[in-house]
Amino acid sequence: MMLPPYSQDSSYSSLMEYLRRMFHKKQMDLEYTFSQMVYLCIAPRKVCQLTIYRHQTKGRWSRDDPAFVVIQVLFLAVSGIAYGVCFSHTFLQVLRVFLIGIVVHFLLLGSLVAAVCNFIANRHLRVRTFQGLDQRVPFLYSFDVHCNAFFPTFLLLYVVQYFLFPLLLSDRVVSCIFGNALCSIALMYYCYITCLGYSTLPFIRNAQVFLYPAIVGLVIAVVFTVTRTNLSVKFFHILGVPPHFNNNRFGGSLAKRWLDVRMHDMYVRRAQRDMYRSRAAYKLLQLDDRFSIFRKNQRVIDLGCYSGGWSQVALKRTRVGESDSVVIGVDKVRMDALQLHTFVQGDITEPSTIDAVKRALGENKKAHVLLSDMAPNVTGRRADDHLEITELNMKTLDVMESILGVKGWLVMKTFFGPETQKLRTFLESRFYKVRASRPHATRPESREVYLIASGYRGRGVSIASEVNERARVRKEGWELEQPPKVRIPQNEAGAIRQEEELERRAKTSAGVMPEE
């Protein structure tokens, strides 16, 4: 009978030889290492067979070639630099993200997981072989199992999430589901490869216990999905991503919006918790808390309702379902349906859309509240954006004449600028009271302000002609003609007035009435 090969897994000299070979490229088999990484992604059982072959030929379960660890550290270094350059502003922040991925996640946390699994395997899962030998799982093999399980997890959480972060960090439900599913798959794959690694050893039984954390993780992911908590966002925090996007290197304002607003905005997190579709819902909630806009049995029209945050507030505050309240949303973009909500797709300035809104209101019925959170596509040029939204506001007011009832409410968004006071003056001619407000939920850098008008007096003179004229002027780049102003020097003004007075007296004495 042949004696079993001597195992050198726990030998001190073997460990020192392992560390020494890390600094000698010629002593590392890179081709074999890359083939193992490919097998871990497409056929992980093949790696288990290679482990058995290594034990039969070299008499050890763990790797004696440090190439796998070196390549994994290099991959983590590249991903850490990519995250740091993308999300950080200084070299120290880049270095921080770099070290968190390698030192904390891979080495320290990996060593801790390997130690726990090694303890469980040796204490509870180890049995004597048919040869009567009392073998133990070496720690280096446990760390090898961690390295094998970490590589596919690295690809999912570090690489895939890096390229999909604009999608994963959105406040939509599908982003939360996709992000939580990605994290769950990564955890389940880690546990699966860990289970395969320990089941390869002939003296280990019931290695399926290493699959239990995957079940717990799946339950947690389902709970987080129900509560609208995105695990991908949590991963970015764990990775040490700073709260401000480095817009000097990547994407400017768009990327800053994705990261700053959607990850670190208080109202975004509250919207996810309270199941609102957008953070804009809190603007309307704060306006209603201040001005008491909504009541029971109201008919509410929400212009520009996508993605539905304001409509959700109107449904809640008017108690649709418990009263005769009706909430109608209008937008050119198709919106996912809300319960007890009527949606009309179309341009509100088109007659067909207005007719559809009137049919939804009912015969000879008008709205009690008209909401408008509409805004044009901003260009970043404040003067142009202000004029664009002013024209949009005037079109909204023209539509208001036909759908808003007497004593009704109007809540309309605009950008502060020279035309704001004129817009407010016009509203004061139509409503009993007009107030301007800027809710706390408005971002500090935003110029938007909300006009709240109550007590609609009734239909007035149509402003469609003024809207068309302003649109024509904006389109052709003209300026409205103004009468020329002639500046008369002060020393000549007195002589002109004296000459006009003498002429008037001469005409009066001659019996000729002066011209008015």
Q: Which residues carry out catalysis?
A: 413
CA distance 147 to 154: 10
Exposure string for 345-361, b = 16+ CB within 10 A, e = fewer: eeebeeeebbebbbebb
CA distance 365 to 72: 69
Find the helix packing angle between 44-58 and 30-42, rounded to 10°.
140
Long-range contacts formed by 107-114: CB under 8 A, 24+ apart: 110/143, 110/146, 110/147, 110/150, 111/143, 111/146, 113/146, 114/139, 114/142, 114/143, 114/145, 114/146
**E strand or H helix that includes residue 154:** helix 139-154
Whole-number CA gyration radius for the chain: 36
Give strand pairing partners of 330. Answer: 303, 344
Place of tokens 């809710």: 439
User: CA 391, 396, 401, 407 torsion: positive or negative?
Assistant: negative
Give the residue among 147, 138, 136, 80 at the shortest CA–CA distance from 113. Answer: 147
Kindly report the number of other CB atoms within 10 A of residue 227's CB atom.
11
CA angle (411 as vertex; 408, 413 as ends), nearest 5: 155
Residue 482 structure tokens? 């103004």
Place of tokens 């002109």: 496
CB 114, CB 142: distance < 8 Å: yes
Give strand pairing partners of 204. Answer: 126
CA distance 266 to 268: 5
CA distance 238 to 242: 10
